[in-house]
Copies of this chain bind each other. A is one copy, B any other.
Amino acid sequence: MSKREITVVRTTNGKARPDPNHLGFGKYFTDHMFVMDYDRENGWHSPRVIPYQPITLDPATMVFHYGQTVFEGLKAYHSQDGRTLLFRPEKNVERLNRSCSRLNIPEVEEEAFLSGLKTLIQVDRDWIPTTEGTSLYIRPFILPTETNLRVAPASSYKFVIILSPVGSYYPEGINPVGINVEKQYTRAVLGGTGTAKTAGNYCAGYKAQQKASESGAAQVLWLDGIEKKYIEEVGSMNIFFKIDGEVVTPQLNGSILEGITRMSIIELLQEWGIPVTERKISFDEFVKAYQEERVEEVFGTGTAAVISPVGEFRYQDTKYLINNRQTGDLSKKLYETITGIQTGKIYDEFGWTVEVKSSGM
């Protein structure tokens, strides 16, 4: 057998399905996982679908010490006509490989990633929830498996994909949230790892998220790490402003994560003829436009929520109420179009969706 051929070992001990109305996010996992290994001699090899199972690691394994990991996040959807759809998965492969490159991790071939993912989904297809708004969250990740405490890239890695049926992000309809403008903590800075989906970027934000929660806000507005002036992201989402009929989003500046939802929204707006610009935007510019009553909508974008309207910014003692805490028309239209394409309800003129056929590739 070729070392590139995917082997499949099915569980003999399937788990009970969770209640589709109480899935939450990333709490339940399916019966199987995809794994492949890397070493210098063999490259990425031994791709396999195996029963979902623990990973056993020596305590000196590098993953516990120096954080050389990358991950991705995407979803599979059950369409009304019974198909299984992925949304632009090749963009996740590209981003994973950009993350790998920043972290000195060997890149993964698109074909190896996608065929592994599709085989895994075929095996666990009946785990995809079908209730409105639910989906199958896909978490590919890479960890270093070398046992050694030297501070240097590992010589061996594991690539793993796990699947989690997840609930609707908006069981009671889209709900604009309050956002705390963060001036003390920094998520990422030019020259750092902000453009990569790597573990250390996420725990670095917990302190600011705690401050936001304690002040009653749902998320953090991240400013640039250098001047603490320019808007970067909101929580783990990209951010868009509609000001005077024009849509603005922070340009990719070397510290912002390049969201696939962000990219898709820019393409949609262009298709619709709505002016959209990627440029620097400072919080001061927002405040000025706000005072002149030119701010129409603000929303975050990401795989989990798709669109998350911002109802309010809090900066020190000032509150900036946006669109009277209502979801704006553009936010609504974008949400419906993207989720419509993702779930096959709306014709996909962009060729964004990829079907996972019943068997074979």
> Which residues does A use to contact B, with CB under 8 Å?
25-27, 29, 33, 52-60, 63-69, 71, 102-104, 137, 139, 141, 143, 148-153, 160, 162, 164, 184-186, 188-193, 198-207, 209-210, 225-226, 228, 236
With both beta carbons as reference points, the residue of chain B lying nearest to A200 in the complex is identified as: B200
Knowing A60-B162, A148-B26, A151-B202, the reply to whether A67 touches B67 (Cβ < 8 A) is: yes
Q: How far, in angstroms, from A343 to B191 measured CA to CA in the complex?
A: 40
Contact of A59 among B55, B68, B150, B202 (CB under 8 A): B55
Question: Complex: how many Å from CA A149 to CA B203?
Answer: 12
Inter-chain contacts of A56 with B (CB < 8 A)? 54-57
CA distance A209 to B207 in the complex (A): 29
Given contacts A26-B60, A150-B25, A189-B186, contact A103 B66 (CB under 8 A): no
Contacts of A164 in B (CB 8 A): 60, 149
Q: How far is the CA of A26 from the CA of B66 in the complex (A)?
A: 13
What is the bound-complex CA distance between A149 and B104, given in angstroms? 24
Known contacts A162-B60, A192-B204, A207-B104; decide if A67 and B151 are in contact (CB<8 Å): no
The residue from B104, B184, B203 contacting A67, defined by CB atoms under 8 A apart: B203
10 A-B interface contacts by CB (under 8 A): A27-B148, A29-B58, A29-B60, A55-B56, A65-B69, A151-B205, A151-B236, A153-B203, A199-B200, A200-B204
Query: 9 tightest A-B contacts by CB?
Result: A200-B200, A26-B149, A67-B199, A186-B191, A66-B202, A68-B203, A189-B189, A104-B206, A67-B200
Residue on B nearest A193 in the bound complex, by CB = B204
In whole angstroms, what is the CA distance A306 to B310 when docked?
Answer: 51
Q: How distant is A7 from chain B, measured CB to nearest CB, in Å?
A: 18
Cβ of A30 to closest chain B Cβ, rounded Å: 11
Q: Which of B25, B57, B198 contacts A54 (CB 8 A)?
A: B57
Task: Point out which of A71, A164, A206 has the most chain B C-beta atoms below 10 A from its C-beta.
Answer: A206
Determine chain A's interface SS by DSSP, over half rule.
loop
Q: Which residues of B contact A199 (CB under 8 A)?
A: 64-67, 199-200
A27 to B27, CA, bound (A): 36
Residue of B at shortest CB range from A102?
A: B207
Instruction: List the B side residues contacting A143 at CB < 8 Å.
Output: 64
Q: B69 near A191 (CB under 8 angstroms)?
A: no
Give A31 Cβ to nearest chain B Cβ, in Å: 13
The interface residues of chain B lying within 8 Å CB-to-CB of A186 are: 189-192
The listed residue with most B CB atoms (<10 A of its CB), out of A69, A102, A160, is A69
Tell me, rounded to whole Å, the shortest Cβ–Cβ distance linking A23 to chain B: 12
Given contacts A164-B149, A203-B198, are A139 and B57 in contact (CB under 8 A)? no
Kindly list chain B residues whose C-beta atoms are within 8 Å of the C-beta of A59. 29, 33, 52-55, 160, 162
Once bound together, how far apart are the Cα atoms of A69 and B68, in whole Å?
Answer: 12
- Knowing that A66-B199, A199-B200 are A-B contacts, what are 15 other residue pairs whose CB atoms are under 8 Å apart, sorted by A's residue number? A26-B149, A54-B58, A55-B57, A56-B56, A56-B57, A57-B57, A64-B71, A69-B203, A152-B206, A186-B190, A192-B204, A193-B203, A193-B204, A199-B199, A225-B226
Contacts of A185 in B (CB 8 A): 191-192
Expressed in whole angstroms, the minimum distance between the Cβ of A291 and any Cβ of chain B is 27
**Alpha-carbon separation in the docked complex, A206 to B193 (Å):** 11
A144 CB, nearest partner CB in chain B, Å: 9
- A145 to chain B minimum Cβ distance, whole angstroms, is 11
Instruction: Assess the B67–A69 pair: CB atoms within 8 A.
Output: yes
Interchain CA distance A150-B63 in the complex, whole Å: 19
